[in-house]
Amino acid sequence: MKTRKTISYFDFSIQLLNNEFKSLTETFTCGETYPEAGLADYLKNQAFEDMETGNGVTYLVIDNSSNIIAGYCTLISSSLPYYYRTEDEEEGIYQTLCEIPAIKIFMFAVDERYQDTFYENKPISAWILEAIIAKINSMSSQVAGIKAIYLHALPSAEEFYLKNNFSICEEYFQPFSSDDDDLKVMYALIREVHIVYEKSK
Amino acid sequence: MATKPITFVRQMLPVIPADKSEAFIKKANKNILSAEYLKKCSDSEKKFKV
């Protein structure tokens, strides 16, 4: 059981990952056992390449007072697909592959040293997640249409996401296949969704 | 990250029958983050320095 820590001064910044932070990433840790340890492995070994190749954009949360990476988040543009079945007189029954534009939180991790740290009675992890949601919400009105946010939750993190307004994905829509297919998909909507009634021409 | 072919999804993804689409969307829309919560998120974001 970890000891709860409280900080009285909030001095964190959010910055895009770049090579200047390479040495800081080396001390990032999410525990010694997998799958949690894999979150640190990703930051150290894959995140830089993914920034270059377009596979993911990583935001670091830096504790400015100690110059430690308190957490990070990697985002990918994506969609939640679903099949819709309908019928018309000319073509009979047909089904259409539709999508809900979404941002996938590909990675979200908080360093072990901050996992039980609270500010104003709220865990640092929740502060970070809320900031990320706000960032995505801003993108949805300024950068590209986004209606949903989803992620594959590690079993140890499901409760955290439920507490922070995420839900288990509905049976009819699931993201495209990925390496995380064995994990539960959780999502939240930032805009109302509508079914696509018309067949794409 | 490598992704599997779309045919895999075809097999796995259930099709929403037309008569259930309204209920499906209604249920999904219950998960819209409230304006109050999004305001809270925006306030949290402002706590972070850029």
ipTM of the complex: 0.86
The stretch A123-147 carries a mean pLDDT of: 96
Say if residue A157's pLDDT is above 50: yes
Q: What is the DSSP letter of A170?
A: P
Asked if the Cβ–Cβ distance from B33 to A193 is below 8 Å, we say: no
* pLDDT for the residue A200: 41
Q: Pick the residue with more confidence: B17 or A130?
A: A130
d(CA A166, CA B31): 7
Interface probe with B: pick from A177, A183, A190, A192, most Cβ of B within 10 Å:
A177
Say how many CA atoms lie within 13 Å of A56 toward its Cβ.
22
The stretch B2-31 carries a mean pLDDT of: 70
Task: Record the pTM.
Answer: 0.88
The stretch A130-143 carries a mean pLDDT of: 96
Asked if the Cβ–Cβ distance from A131 to B24 is below 8 Å, we say: no
Say if residue B12's pLDDT is above 90: no
Measured between alpha carbons, how far apart are the two ends of chain B, in Å? Answer: 29
Q: Which residues of B touch A (CB under 8 A)?
A: 1-4, 6, 8-9, 12-18, 21-22, 24-25, 27-29, 31-33, 37-38, 40-42, 44-45, 47-50
Q: Nearest chain B Cα to A150, which residue?
A: B31
Over residues A163-185, the pLDDT tens digits come to: 999 999 877 777 877 777 778 89
* pLDDT for the residue A192: 92
**Cα-Cα-Cα-Cα dihedral of A181, A186, A190, A195, to 10°?**
70
Asked if the Cβ–Cβ distance from A176 to B6 is below 8 Å, we say: yes
Strands A92-110 and A68-88, how do they pair? antiparallel
- Contact between A101 and A79 under an 8 Å Cβ cutoff? The reply is yes
Over residues A73-112, the pLDDT tens digits come to: 999 999 988 888 777 777 777 778 888 999 999 999 999 9
Asked if the Cβ–Cβ distance from B41 to A137 is below 8 Å, we say: yes
d(CA A161, CA A17): 24
Name the band, by pLDDT with cuts 50, 70 and 90, for residue A1: low
Say if residue B10's pLDDT is above 60: no
CA distance A93 to chain B (A): 10
* pLDDT for the residue B5: 52
Say if residue A199's pLDDT is above 70: no
> What percent of chain A clears pLDDT 90, i.e. is strictly above it?
72
- Write down the mean pLDDT value for chain A: 90
Say if residue B11's pLDDT is above 60: no
Q: Nearest chain A Cα to B45, which residue?
A: A131
Asked if the Cβ–Cβ distance from A85 to B12 is below 8 Å, we say: no
CA-nearest of A71, A45, A41, A76 to A59 is A71
